[in-house]
Amino acid sequence: MTGSDPDRDRKNARRQRYGFRDAEPVADSMSSFLDSPEAQRMRRFQKVAPALREALSPSLLTKVTPVRMQSGILTLEVSDGMALHELRQHASHTLLEALAAHGTGISRLQWRLAKSVR
């Protein structure tokens, strides 16, 4: 898939067309997307939520947001500093075991404190 280029898109939209535009078969587009690494990453990312629900208490779960998953590293953003400390100290191993059991391919956790919204 090609990246987004707004200038190219505007130029193509301004160009006059003489005749019909060729349609791309949806099956080809979907198969190329479903076979892409991005789609595979999305499928693995969908396995993260059940693992989080299994490993964390409901009160901690509301404070944790999975942000990024790449190269076997899951980045989790925590909204509260005390919860971040508790998760780092007490829940990291349990969470890694749950993620491995769900087949996510994650081998390391990266924690960060979420920016406060004022």
pLDDT digits (tens, 9 = 90+) for 42-92: 777 788 989 999 999 999 999 999 988 888 899 999 998 999 999 999 999
Please answer whether residues 64 and 87 qualify as being in contact, where contact means their C-beta atoms are separated by less than 8 angstroms: yes
More confident call, 22 vs 31: 31
Does residue 8 belong to any structural domain of this protein? Answer: no
Contact between 67 and 77 under an 8 Å Cβ cutoff? The reply is yes
Q: Is residue 3 situated within a structural domain?
A: no
Q: Is 108 a member of any domain?
A: yes
Domain count, the chain: 1
Q: What is the DSSP string of the chain?
A: -PPP-HHHHHHHHHS---SPPPPPPHHHHHHHHHTSHHHHHHHHHHTHHHHHHHHS-HHHHTTEEEEEEETTEEEEEES-HHHHHHIIIIIHHHHHHHHHHTT----EEEEEEPPPP-
Predicted structure pTM score: 0.64
| CATH code, domain with 86 | 3.30.300.180
The answer as to whether 95 is a domain residue is yes
pLDDT of 111 above 90? yes
